Structure 1
Amino acid sequence: MKKYFLYFLGLNLIAFAVVLNVRFDLGVAAFSSVMYSISQIYNISLGTASIICYLIFVIIQCILSKKITVTFILEIPLSFAFGWLTDLYDFIIPTLSLSLYLRVICFIMTMFITAMGVFLSVKTNLILTPTDGIVKTISEVFSFPFSIVKNTFDITLVFVTIILCLINHTHFYGLGIGTILTALFIGRIINIYEKKIQLSF
């Protein structure tokens, strides 16, 4: 029960943090930048855009691993569930009117929430969100530390977002100082959690 509780908590922390980052208006988290830009460019919900990206990530995992596993298949229904969860938090969390100073502080705190959500969902070794699943797959296939791959993957998504916006001749939706901070530091925060927190089930 402990494992499933922490897993459920981790997923909720990630979805909660994704929406909070949008509300702070400092730039969305790097790992959700592509999803957010798609939602703005094509006028669809953030959850729907997330589902589209997640399904693409599942396909990439299968290609990199050169196999289709039950774990990858289970990421498909999770993609829909997590997309709906994101839309739920998007509906619940109101628009926030905070000073720039408070928004910066809250954004930094939210990075730790995001990192904890990723840490818990990965460490429970259940079904990962495709965003974390593809990072784990790359980590295993190429034998790189998860936290390093996380940093690199997040930065890559920021570049994909820039290219996507340029192709569609739009504003750079969701990109800001917060995006850079998450790209540089969430992986490192996860690394701190990995070293300091020992989970046993």
Structure 2
Amino acid sequence: MQFSGEKLTLKRVFNYIFGLYLITLGVAFSIKSCLGSAPVSSIPYAINLIWLVEIGVATFIFHTMLVGIEWFLLKNDFKKKHFLQVFVGVLFGVFTSISVSLLGFIPMANSVAAGLLMTMLAVFFIALGLFFYVPANIIPLSVEGVTQAIAIVTDKPFSTVKVYLDVCIVSTALILSWGFLGQLGSVGIGTIIGALLIGTTVKYIHKIHGRLTGNHVDLKKM
């Protein structure tokens, strides 16, 4: 069976599902850190707090907007399968619930040191998950879809664009939260650390993988 011009192998499917799960494990650690949400969740949480839109609906709206931006950037290169990015969020939500449940035995961070440890674990698992699932080239989450689109249009590395986009998302969430609520909302030091380090961590995982295996992984393939 062909998908995106490549044979849909068991390895591709495994890397895709495993990568998505690792990202949700990172999100679960970010929740445990008590230092702010993961960057990708910051705008939906801001929408939830400001307009009292249910978080699931806010997430759907956010992902739909990102797919629209991706469509605008790629124009004729935008593929019909990319519309499905919005609905991949449902699978992502299920995996997030599972990950949070599996980490139920870990207490919420009660100190800054513990919170920072949880944050760094979140950064690592999210970055590792991106490295696994994005190159599988099945259907990315809309945030990664937009990252790929910007990387293609600007001819910049995926990891570099990831940092810029995460910082942009977190900055927008901060502006919305402060402008409408006079507070930081779901954005904390952990959110900012994630925005700055997730893309950079992907870059180093990519480099280490290349040196160990001699293989180049295309993070812009879509």
Say whether the fold is shared (TM-score over 0.5): yes
- 1:73 aligns with 83
Match of 1:136 among 144, 148, 159: 148
Query: Runs in 1 of length 4+ with deviation above 6 angstroms?
Result: none
Q: Under a length normalisation based on structure 1, what TM-score does the superposition of the two structures give? A: 0.87
Q: Match for 1:98: what amino acid?
A: A
Structure 2 length-normalised TM: 0.80
Change in 2 beyond 3 A, CA 1:48/1:21: farther
Measured in 2, the distance between the counterparts of 1:179 and 1:143 equals 27
Partner of 1:86: 96
Letter in 2 for 1:73: F
Identity of aligned residues (%): 28
Structure 2: distance between partners of 1:84 and 1:2: 22
Q: CA deviation at 1:33?
A: 1.4
What corresponds to 1:34 in structure 2?
A: 43
**Given residue 109 of structure 1, which amino acid in structure 2 is its aligned partner?**
L
Q: Is the 8 A contact 1:47 1:82 kept in 2?
A: no
In structure 1, what is the Cα distance between the partners aligned to 2:216 and 2:165?
28
- Contact kept, 8 Å, 1:46 with 1:83, in 2: the verdict is no
2: distance between equivalents of 1:83 and 1:45?
14
> 69-78 or 50-59: which moved more?
69-78
List runs of 5+ in structure 1 lacking aligned partners.
none
- Deviation, structure 1 residue 118: 1.2
For the residue of structure 2 that corresponds to 1:128, the secondary structure is coil
Out of 1-10 and 78-87, give the one that drifted further: 78-87
Partner amino acid for 1:70?
Answer: K
- Check whether the contact 1:22–1:28 (CA below 8 A) recurs between aligned residues: yes
Deviation at 1:73, TM superposition (A): 2.0
Matches within 5 A, 1:148-167: 148-167=160-179
Deviations 1:35-66 (A, max 9, x none): 22223334455444322211111111001111
Distance 1:48 1:87 in 2: 16
Name the residue aligned to 1:191.
Answer: 203
Query: What do residues 5-36 of structure 1 show as CA deviations (whole Å, max 9, x unaligned)?
Result: 11101111112322331231112222321122
For the residue of structure 2 that corresponds to 1:123, the secondary structure is coil
Q: State whether structure 2 residue 109 is matched by structure 1 residue 98.
A: yes
- 2: CA distance, partners of 1:154 / 1:30: 6
Specify the SS of the correspondent of 2:181.
coil
Matched residues, number: 201
- Residue in 2 aligned with 1:23? 32
1:140-186, Cα deviation, whole Å (9 max, x unpaired)? 01111111100000110111101211342252112121112111111
Distance change in 2, residues 1:200/1:187 (3 Å):
closer
Q: Give the aligned CA root-mean-square deviation in angstroms.
A: 2.4
Q: Which amino acid in structure 1 is aligned with residue 177 of structure 2?
A: C
Following the alignment from structure 1 to structure 2, what is the Cα–Cα distance between the partners of residues 40 and 88? 24
For 1:20 and 1:109, the matched residues in 2 are separated by 7
Give structure 2 stretches of 5+ with no counterpart. Answer: 1-9, 218-222
Deviation per CA, 1:57-101, whole angstroms, max 9, x where unpaired?
A: 111100111134123122132133324443554566548333312
